[in-house]
A and B are shown apart, each in its own frame.
Chain A
Amino acid sequence: MNETFNIAIPNLIIFVTLLIIPILIFRWLKLPLVKKLLIAAGRMILQLSLVALYLEYIFKLDYLLVNFAWIIVMILAANITILSQSGLRFSKLFWVTFPSYIITTATVIAAFLIVFPANVISHSRYLIPLGGMLLGNLLRSNIVGMERFYSSLRERRSEYVQYLSLGATRTEAVMPFLRQAYKASIAPQIGGLATIGLVSLPGMMTGQILGGSSPAVAIKYQIMIMIAIFLTVNLSVLLSLLLSSAHAFDNFDRLKEDIYK
């Protein structure tokens, strides 16, 4: 198949200026979103350009250790975002969430060996995009899970105390909260599995088809990545909730206040 058509920079710039249309709409509706949009679009372009620079370099180098280092950097970035967006203090919980995400990512990447030979998956052009998709989903679902778990424990403290006073161990008393937070973070993923392909073609599949793959190859990748993402989300949310909750209480089973920002 042909090489993907390369978009010319001037044409891309003209395309970006189409943003003037939503800006005019914002003006007309008197929505104070123009500044926000400009900053967000600027960040999008800057971040993607930087990533392109890195990736060009990393793909050329294609050195296994560098690939893994890159994955670890992505995990770190995801971890920082998860804790800050869920209102938790980085310095208190990083040491338990980071290993949770590392273990999860390592497990799922190891599982890729079922479908890829080791010398294929270890190439940066496989490892890094696939890893990125896993971590993007890990990020979103863990924000929901951590935020829900810790805010409900704080808001419904009396319920937690009631369970303890009925003889529950700390793990037993925390379980109803964990179950709810887990469900909140996983349910959208199950919904996503059920509707994929109906409403929109998934990004990865679109990318592959544009890149010249046949739809038959593309759907096999898509099925694999969906399962991998689902596995990632489940493992990471469970591990980080279990491990962090072991650190979030003092020796009297009281929730530590200093884990919150």
Chain B
Amino acid sequence: MLELKKLTVKKDAKTILNKIDFSCNEGEKVLIYGPSGSGKSTFLHSLLFFEPIYSGSIQFNGKKIGEHNIKDYRKNFVFIGQKAPNFQGKAEDFICLPFTFKNNKFSKPEQVVVEKILHEFNFSDNVLENNYENLSGGEQQRLCIIQALLLNKKIFLLDEITSNLDAENTHIVIDKILQDPKRTVISVSHDAHWRNKDMKQYILAAGELKNE
């Protein structure tokens, strides 16, 4: 489904990713780990063309991705970062934020769906009434993950999403994300909790991606 061919990304003349070949099929669960500063975040950003590609190519379902089809391509993905973004408003507004965007307008989930997933993540219903800014970093991060899950995208790109969570919540989050057999997951993490899961594992070091 997703195929990278000799992908090279440079920043200020420094090679961050060096001729990376990588492919992944629908439903596959991929873990990428490696020393910090090895370009793991850059790798995820490059998949979405948020970093300028120096050379090489990315193909999706056999089609080369470029300026002409980038918008449709990005619609398949959701990206979650390490730290929840700033947001002013209630937790409920935050969860609903993506559904205020034109692209997602018609996929707004029903209230029961939202409540069910909140329970699965150990939240009580009244968390929705809280001010997002008053929640702890870990709670905000879990809301981000809920937000992404509700969007129901095919491919999840995860950048160290459990680094600010305690062990219990880390387990809940990982299990929930890996649960759906059709969902493709590419997770970057150096957390041992991910390493113990049944995932295809790669090491990213010195700009090169090696199969475990």
Q: What is the distance, in angstroms, from A27's C-beta to the closest C-beta of chain B?
A: 46
Q: List 7 A-B contacts (CB under 8 A).
A: A159-B85, A159-B86, A161-B48, A162-B80, A166-B147, A167-B75, A168-B103
Q: Which residues in A have their C-beta under 8 angstroms from that of B119?
A: none
Give the contacts of A5-34 with B (CB-CB under 8 A): none
**Does B97 sit at the interface, judged by CB under 8 A?**
yes
Give the contacts of A220-240 with B (CB-CB under 8 A): none
**Does A49 sit at the interface, judged by CB under 8 A?**
no
Q: Which residues in A have their C-beta under 8 angstroms from that of B70?
A: 251-253
CB-contact partner of A167 in B48, B50, B52, B151, under 8 A: B151
- Whether A158 lies near B85 (C-beta < 8 A) is yes
- Whether A167 lies near B98 (C-beta < 8 A) is yes
Interface residues of B (CB under 8 A from A): 45, 48-52, 67, 70, 74-75, 77-81, 83, 85-86, 97-98, 100-104, 147-148, 151, 157
Q: What is the distance, in angstroms, from A155's C-beta to the closest C-beta of chain B?
A: 11
Number of A-B residue pairs with CB-CB distance less than 8 Å in the complex they form: 62
**Does A85 sit at the interface, judged by CB under 8 A?**
no
**Does A156 sit at the interface, judged by CB under 8 A?**
yes
- Whether B77 lies near A254 (C-beta < 8 A) is no
**Does A184 sit at the interface, judged by CB under 8 A?**
no
Q: What is the distance, in angstroms, from A150's C-beta to the closest C-beta of chain B?
A: 17
**Does A91 sit at the interface, judged by CB under 8 A?**
no
Q: Which residues in A have their C-beta under 8 angstroms from that of B104?
A: 166-167
Q: Which residues in A have their C-beta under 8 angstroms from that of B48?
A: 161, 164-165
**Does A56 sit at the interface, judged by CB under 8 A?**
no
Compute how far the CA of A253 lies from the CA of B98 in the bound complex, rounded to whole angstroms.
18
Q: What is the distance, in angstroms, from B161's C-beta to the closest C-beta of chain A?
A: 12
**Does A84 sit at the interface, judged by CB under 8 A?**
no
Which interface residue of B83, B85, B103 has the most chain A CB atoms within 10 A? B85
- Whether B67 lies near A251 (C-beta < 8 A) is yes
- Whether B74 lies near A165 (C-beta < 8 A) is yes
Could you mark each residue 158-192 of chain A with 1 if its beta carbon is under 8 Å from any beta carbon of chain B, else 0?
Answer: 11011111111100100000000000000000000
Q: What is the distance, in angstroms, from B5's C-beta to the closest C-beta of chain A?
A: 18
